Protein backbone atom coordinates (compact mmCIF):
# COMPACT_ATOMS: atom_id res chain seq x y z
CA UNK A 1 0.00 0.00 0.00
CA UNK A 2 2.70 2.48 0.95
CA UNK A 3 4.62 1.73 -2.23
CA UNK A 4 1.52 2.21 -4.39
CA UNK A 5 0.66 5.47 -2.65
CA UNK A 6 4.25 6.70 -2.87
CA UNK A 7 4.30 6.12 -6.62
CA UNK A 8 0.93 7.85 -7.01
CA UNK A 9 1.96 10.83 -4.87
CA UNK A 10 5.26 11.17 -6.73
CA UNK A 11 3.32 11.67 -9.97
CA UNK A 12 0.98 14.23 -8.41
CA UNK A 13 3.33 16.56 -6.54
CA UNK A 14 3.16 14.57 -3.29
CA UNK A 15 -0.61 14.62 -2.84
CA UNK A 16 -3.24 11.87 -2.65
CA UNK A 17 -6.87 11.57 -1.59
CA UNK A 18 -8.64 9.31 0.90
CA UNK A 19 -10.38 7.44 -1.93
CA UNK A 20 -7.02 6.86 -3.62
CA UNK A 21 -5.60 5.54 -0.36
CA UNK A 22 -8.53 3.13 -0.06
CA UNK A 23 -8.01 1.98 -3.65
CA UNK A 24 -4.34 1.38 -2.82
CA UNK A 25 -5.40 -0.92 0.05
CA UNK A 26 -5.68 1.33 3.11
CA UNK A 27 -8.46 0.54 5.57
CA UNK A 28 -10.23 3.12 7.70
CA UNK A 29 -8.13 2.05 10.66
CA UNK A 30 -4.86 2.40 8.74
CA UNK A 31 -5.85 5.89 7.55
CA UNK A 32 -6.75 6.98 11.09
CA UNK A 33 -3.50 5.58 12.54
CA UNK A 34 -1.35 7.31 9.89
CA UNK A 35 -3.08 10.59 10.59
CA UNK A 36 -2.77 10.14 14.36
CA UNK A 37 0.96 9.41 14.03
CA UNK A 38 1.28 12.36 11.67
CA UNK A 39 2.97 10.29 9.01
CA UNK A 40 0.23 11.63 6.72
CA UNK A 41 -0.55 15.35 6.84
CA UNK A 42 -4.10 16.52 6.07
CA UNK A 43 -4.27 19.41 3.59
CA UNK A 44 -8.06 19.40 3.25
CA UNK A 45 -10.70 16.96 4.48
CA UNK A 46 -9.89 13.73 2.67
CA UNK A 47 -6.73 15.09 1.01
CA UNK A 48 -3.27 14.22 2.37
CA UNK A 49 0.44 14.30 1.72
CA UNK A 50 3.29 12.32 3.24
CA UNK A 51 4.91 14.00 6.23
CA UNK A 52 7.99 15.93 5.22
CA UNK A 53 7.00 16.24 1.56
CA UNK A 54 8.06 19.69 0.37
CA UNK A 55 5.29 22.20 -0.07
CA UNK A 56 4.88 23.72 -3.54
CA UNK A 57 2.41 25.73 -5.59
CA UNK A 58 1.68 22.79 -7.96
CA UNK A 59 1.05 20.62 -4.90
CA UNK A 60 -1.45 23.16 -3.59
CA UNK A 61 -3.26 23.14 -6.95
CA UNK A 62 -3.53 19.35 -7.03
CA UNK A 63 -4.80 19.34 -3.44
CA UNK A 64 -7.39 22.03 -4.22
CA UNK A 65 -8.73 20.00 -7.16
CA UNK A 66 -8.96 16.83 -5.09
CA UNK A 67 -10.74 18.74 -2.33
CA UNK A 68 -13.19 20.29 -4.79
CA UNK A 69 -14.15 16.85 -6.11
CA UNK A 70 -14.63 15.09 -9.43
CA UNK A 71 -14.97 17.32 -12.47
CA UNK A 72 -13.10 20.23 -10.92
CA UNK A 73 -10.15 21.93 -12.57
CA UNK A 74 -7.68 24.70 -11.86
CA UNK A 75 -9.08 27.75 -13.65
CA UNK A 76 -9.06 31.52 -14.19
CA UNK A 77 -5.88 33.28 -12.95
CA UNK A 78 -4.32 30.12 -11.51
CA UNK A 79 -4.83 28.37 -14.86
CA UNK A 80 -3.33 31.34 -16.70
CA UNK A 81 -0.28 31.07 -14.45
CA UNK A 82 0.03 27.36 -15.30
CA UNK A 83 -0.20 28.16 -19.02
CA UNK A 84 2.27 31.01 -18.42
CA UNK A 85 0.14 33.61 -20.18
CA UNK A 86 -0.55 37.17 -19.06
CA UNK A 87 -3.07 37.47 -16.25
CA UNK A 88 -1.71 34.52 -14.31
CA UNK A 89 -1.32 34.82 -10.56
CA UNK A 90 0.33 32.10 -8.47
CA UNK A 91 -0.87 33.77 -5.27
CA UNK A 92 -4.45 32.71 -6.01
CA UNK A 93 -5.67 29.13 -5.64
CA UNK A 94 -8.58 29.12 -8.07
CA UNK A 95 -10.65 26.16 -9.28
CA UNK A 96 -13.94 25.68 -11.12
CA UNK A 97 -16.60 23.07 -10.43
CA UNK A 98 -19.51 22.28 -12.76
CA UNK A 99 -22.99 23.45 -11.81
CA UNK A 100 -24.99 22.64 -9.78
CA UNK A 101 -22.34 21.12 -7.54
CA UNK A 102 -20.86 23.30 -4.81
CA UNK A 103 -17.54 23.03 -3.03
CA UNK A 104 -15.95 24.87 -0.14
CA UNK A 105 -12.21 24.66 0.42
CA UNK A 106 -10.29 26.80 2.88
CA UNK A 107 -8.15 29.36 1.06
CA UNK A 108 -9.42 28.33 -2.39
CA UNK A 109 -11.53 30.54 -4.64
CA UNK A 110 -14.11 28.15 -6.09
CA UNK A 111 -16.12 29.13 -9.18
CA UNK A 112 -19.39 27.34 -9.86
CA UNK A 113 -19.58 27.42 -13.65
CA UNK A 114 -21.83 26.16 -16.39
CA UNK A 115 -20.69 24.34 -19.48
CA UNK A 116 -17.51 22.88 -17.98
CA UNK A 117 -17.20 19.96 -20.41
CA UNK A 118 -14.47 17.44 -21.17
CA UNK A 119 -13.27 19.64 -24.02
CA UNK A 120 -12.57 22.39 -21.46
CA UNK A 121 -10.28 20.26 -19.27
CA UNK A 122 -6.78 18.94 -19.83
CA UNK A 123 -3.74 17.82 -17.84
CA UNK A 124 -0.73 20.09 -17.54
CA UNK A 125 2.24 19.11 -15.39
CA UNK A 126 0.08 16.37 -13.79
CA UNK A 127 -2.48 19.01 -12.78
CA UNK A 128 -6.09 19.05 -13.96
CA UNK A 129 -6.56 22.48 -15.52
CA UNK A 130 -8.90 24.23 -17.92
CA UNK A 131 -7.75 24.31 -21.53
CA UNK A 132 -6.08 27.49 -22.68
CA UNK A 133 -9.20 28.27 -24.75
CA UNK A 134 -11.48 27.96 -21.72
CA UNK A 135 -8.95 29.78 -19.53
CA UNK A 136 -9.16 32.85 -21.79
CA UNK A 137 -12.96 32.78 -21.66
CA UNK A 138 -12.92 32.57 -17.86
CA UNK A 139 -10.11 35.09 -17.55
CA UNK A 140 -12.27 37.69 -19.31
CA UNK A 141 -14.45 37.92 -16.20
CA UNK A 142 -11.69 38.55 -13.65
CA UNK A 143 -8.91 40.66 -15.22
CA UNK A 144 -8.77 44.17 -16.73
CA UNK A 145 -9.22 44.53 -20.49
CA UNK A 146 -5.53 45.37 -20.97
CA UNK A 147 -4.44 42.15 -19.29
CA UNK A 148 -6.99 40.13 -21.26
CA UNK A 149 -5.69 41.52 -24.54
CA UNK A 150 -2.13 40.59 -23.61
CA UNK A 151 -3.24 37.10 -22.57
CA UNK A 152 -5.06 36.58 -25.88
CA UNK A 153 -2.04 37.65 -27.93
CA UNK A 154 0.25 35.53 -25.77
CA UNK A 155 -1.88 32.42 -26.31
CA UNK A 156 -2.27 33.02 -30.06
CA UNK A 157 1.42 33.73 -30.52
CA UNK A 158 2.40 30.48 -28.79
CA UNK A 159 -0.36 28.56 -30.63
CA UNK A 160 -2.00 27.42 -27.42
CA UNK A 161 -5.32 28.16 -29.12
CA UNK A 162 -6.55 29.92 -32.24
CA UNK A 163 -9.30 32.38 -33.13
CA UNK A 164 -11.47 29.75 -34.79
CA UNK A 165 -11.38 27.40 -31.80
CA UNK A 166 -11.93 30.24 -29.35
CA UNK A 167 -14.86 31.69 -31.29
CA UNK A 168 -16.50 28.28 -31.65
CA UNK A 169 -16.28 27.56 -27.90
CA UNK A 170 -17.68 31.00 -27.04
CA UNK A 171 -20.65 30.32 -29.33
CA UNK A 172 -21.19 26.88 -27.77
CA UNK A 173 -21.16 28.27 -24.25
CA UNK A 174 -23.36 31.24 -25.12
CA UNK A 175 -22.30 34.83 -24.75
CA UNK A 176 -25.25 36.15 -22.76
CA UNK A 177 -24.45 36.76 -19.12
CA UNK A 178 -20.74 36.01 -19.41
CA UNK A 179 -18.77 39.01 -18.07
CA UNK A 180 -15.98 40.25 -20.31
CA UNK A 181 -16.96 38.18 -23.36
CA UNK A 182 -17.85 41.27 -25.38
CA UNK A 183 -14.40 42.71 -24.68
CA UNK A 184 -12.71 39.44 -25.61
CA UNK A 185 -14.69 39.17 -28.84
CA UNK A 186 -13.73 42.74 -29.72
CA UNK A 187 -10.04 41.89 -29.39
CA UNK A 188 -10.57 38.75 -31.47
CA UNK A 189 -12.24 40.74 -34.24
CA UNK A 190 -9.28 43.11 -34.36
CA UNK A 191 -6.87 40.16 -34.70
CA UNK A 192 -8.99 38.63 -37.46
CA UNK A 193 -8.87 41.87 -39.42
CA UNK A 194 -5.15 42.41 -38.88
CA UNK A 195 -4.19 38.84 -39.71
CA UNK A 196 -0.97 38.93 -37.64
CA UNK A 197 -0.50 38.71 -33.88
CA UNK A 198 2.05 40.93 -32.08
CA UNK A 199 5.12 38.95 -31.07
CA UNK A 200 5.52 40.28 -27.53
CA UNK A 201 3.59 41.89 -24.70
CA UNK A 202 5.40 45.17 -25.42
CA UNK A 203 4.10 45.11 -29.00
CA UNK A 204 0.55 44.51 -27.76
CA UNK A 205 0.89 47.50 -25.44
CA UNK A 206 2.14 49.70 -28.25
CA UNK A 207 -0.83 48.75 -30.43
CA UNK A 208 -3.16 49.60 -27.55
CA UNK A 209 -1.42 52.95 -27.07
CA UNK A 210 -1.83 53.79 -30.77
CA UNK A 211 -5.48 52.74 -30.69
CA UNK A 212 -6.23 54.94 -27.69
CA UNK A 213 -4.63 57.88 -29.46
CA UNK A 214 -6.86 57.27 -32.52
CA UNK A 215 -3.83 56.73 -34.73
CA UNK A 216 -4.05 54.36 -37.71
CA UNK A 217 -3.23 50.75 -36.94
CA UNK A 218 0.07 49.71 -38.52
CA UNK A 219 0.79 46.41 -40.24
CA UNK A 220 2.31 43.87 -37.83
CA UNK A 221 5.46 41.93 -38.72
CA UNK A 222 5.83 43.60 -42.12
CA UNK A 223 8.43 42.24 -44.54
CA UNK A 224 10.48 44.88 -46.35
CA UNK A 225 11.73 43.45 -49.63
CA UNK A 226 14.10 44.54 -52.37
CA UNK A 227 12.54 42.73 -55.31
CA UNK A 228 12.63 39.06 -54.18
CA UNK A 229 15.18 39.58 -51.42
CA UNK A 230 14.09 40.06 -47.81
CA UNK A 231 15.73 43.17 -46.38
CA UNK A 232 14.12 43.10 -42.94
CA UNK A 233 11.01 42.17 -41.06
CA UNK A 234 9.90 45.06 -38.87
CA UNK A 235 7.61 44.90 -35.85
CA UNK A 236 5.18 47.48 -37.24
CA UNK A 237 5.02 49.40 -40.50
CA UNK A 238 3.10 52.03 -42.38
CA UNK A 239 4.28 50.82 -45.81
CA UNK A 240 2.75 53.66 -47.83
CA UNK A 241 5.04 56.21 -46.20
CA UNK A 242 7.90 53.81 -45.42
CA UNK A 243 7.67 54.27 -41.66
CA UNK A 244 8.81 51.39 -39.46
CA UNK A 245 8.39 51.03 -35.70
CA UNK A 246 10.71 48.67 -33.85
CA UNK A 247 9.90 47.65 -30.29
CA UNK A 248 13.34 46.96 -28.89
CA UNK A 249 16.40 48.33 -27.14
CA UNK A 250 19.82 46.93 -26.32
CA UNK A 251 18.78 45.42 -23.00
CA UNK A 252 15.95 43.44 -24.60
CA UNK A 253 18.29 41.51 -26.90
CA UNK A 254 20.38 38.43 -26.23
CA UNK A 255 23.78 40.05 -26.63
CA UNK A 256 25.96 42.46 -28.48
CA UNK A 257 26.06 40.36 -31.67
CA UNK A 258 22.27 40.51 -31.94
CA UNK A 259 22.34 44.25 -31.23
CA UNK A 260 24.86 44.83 -34.00
CA UNK A 261 22.76 42.82 -36.45
CA UNK A 262 19.80 45.03 -35.59
CA UNK A 263 21.88 48.11 -36.35
CA UNK A 264 22.72 46.55 -39.72
CA UNK A 265 19.02 46.04 -40.41
CA UNK A 266 18.32 49.66 -39.57
CA UNK A 267 21.05 50.85 -41.93
CA UNK A 268 19.61 48.67 -44.71
CA UNK A 269 16.15 50.14 -44.12
CA UNK A 270 17.44 53.73 -44.04
CA UNK A 271 19.34 53.20 -47.28
CA UNK A 272 16.05 52.27 -48.93
CA UNK A 273 14.22 55.36 -47.75
CA UNK A 274 12.60 54.00 -44.60
CA UNK A 275 12.34 55.97 -41.38
CA UNK A 276 12.63 53.90 -38.20
CA UNK A 277 11.23 54.78 -34.77
CA UNK A 278 12.43 52.70 -31.82
CA UNK A 279 10.21 52.13 -28.78
CA UNK A 280 11.11 50.42 -25.49
CA UNK A 281 9.00 49.16 -22.62
CA UNK A 282 10.24 52.09 -20.54
CA UNK A 283 8.96 54.50 -23.20
CA UNK A 284 5.49 52.96 -23.10
CA UNK A 285 5.39 52.96 -19.31
CA UNK A 286 6.93 56.35 -18.55
CA UNK A 287 6.64 58.44 -21.74
CA UNK A 288 3.66 57.23 -23.79
CA UNK A 289 2.69 60.77 -24.79
CA UNK A 290 6.16 61.32 -26.27
CA UNK A 291 5.85 58.15 -28.35
CA UNK A 292 2.42 59.24 -29.59
CA UNK A 293 3.70 62.68 -30.60
CA UNK A 294 6.67 61.16 -32.38
CA UNK A 295 4.59 58.67 -34.38
CA UNK A 296 1.81 61.15 -35.07
CA UNK A 297 4.37 63.65 -36.35
CA UNK A 298 5.93 61.04 -38.61
CA UNK A 299 2.51 60.11 -39.99
CA UNK A 300 1.58 63.74 -40.60
CA UNK A 301 4.90 64.76 -42.14
CA UNK A 302 5.97 64.23 -45.73
CA UNK A 303 6.97 60.71 -46.65
CA UNK A 304 10.37 59.82 -48.11
CA UNK A 305 11.22 60.76 -51.65
CA UNK A 306 10.86 57.85 -54.03
Output DSSP code: residue 34: H
Q: Regarding the domain delimited by 201-300, which CATH topology (the fold level of the hierarchy) does it fall under? A: Endonuclease; Chain A (3.40.960)
Q: What is the pTM of this model?
A: 0.79
Q: Quick one: pLDDT at residue 91? A: 92
Cβ neighbours for 156, distance < 8 A, ≥ 6 positions apart: 162, 163, 191, 197
Terminal Cα distance for the chain, rounded: 80
224-248 pLDDT per residue, tens: 998 888 988 898 999 999 999 988 7
Q: Quick one: pLDDT at residue 259? A: 58
Report, in angstroms and rounded to the nearest whole number, the Rg of the chain calculated over CA atoms.
25
Structural domain boundaries of the chain? 2-53, 60-193, 201-300
141: left (phi over 0), alpha (psi -120 to 50) or beta: alpha
Helix (H) or strand (E) holding 270: helix 256-271
Cβ neighbours for 220, distance < 8 A, ≥ 6 positions apart: 194, 196, 197, 198, 199, 203, 207, 235, 236
Q: Which residues of the chain have pLDDT under 50?
A: 249-254, 306
Q: Quick one: pLDDT at residue 260? A: 63
Does residue 275 sit in helix, strand or coil?
Answer: strand
Strands 47-50 and 109-113, sheet pairing: unpaired
Q: Quick one: pLDDT at residue 257? A: 59
Sign of CA dihedral 68, 71, 75, 80: positive
Q: Quick one: pLDDT at residue 209? A: 92
Helix pair 163-173, 181-194: axis angle to 10 deg: 150
Q: Quick one: pLDDT at residue 228? A: 84
Helix (H) or strand (E) holding 5: helix 2-11
Distance CA 190, CA 213 (A): 16
31-72 pLDDT per residue, tens: 999 999 999 999 999 999 998 888 999 999 999 999 999 889
Task: Give the residue ranges of DSSP H helices in 49-141.
Answer: 57-68, 76-83, 132-139
Q: Quick one: pLDDT at residue 67? A: 93
Amino acid sequence: MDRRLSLLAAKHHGVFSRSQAVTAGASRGVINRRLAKRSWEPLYPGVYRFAGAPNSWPQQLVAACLAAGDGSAVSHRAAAALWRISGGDERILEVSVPKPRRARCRGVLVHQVGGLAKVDITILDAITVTSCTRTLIDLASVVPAETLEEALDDALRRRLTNLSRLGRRIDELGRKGRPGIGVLCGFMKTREQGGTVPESVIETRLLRTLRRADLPQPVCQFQVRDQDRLVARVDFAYPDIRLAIEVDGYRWHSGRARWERDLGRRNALTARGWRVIHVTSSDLTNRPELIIRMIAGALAGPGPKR
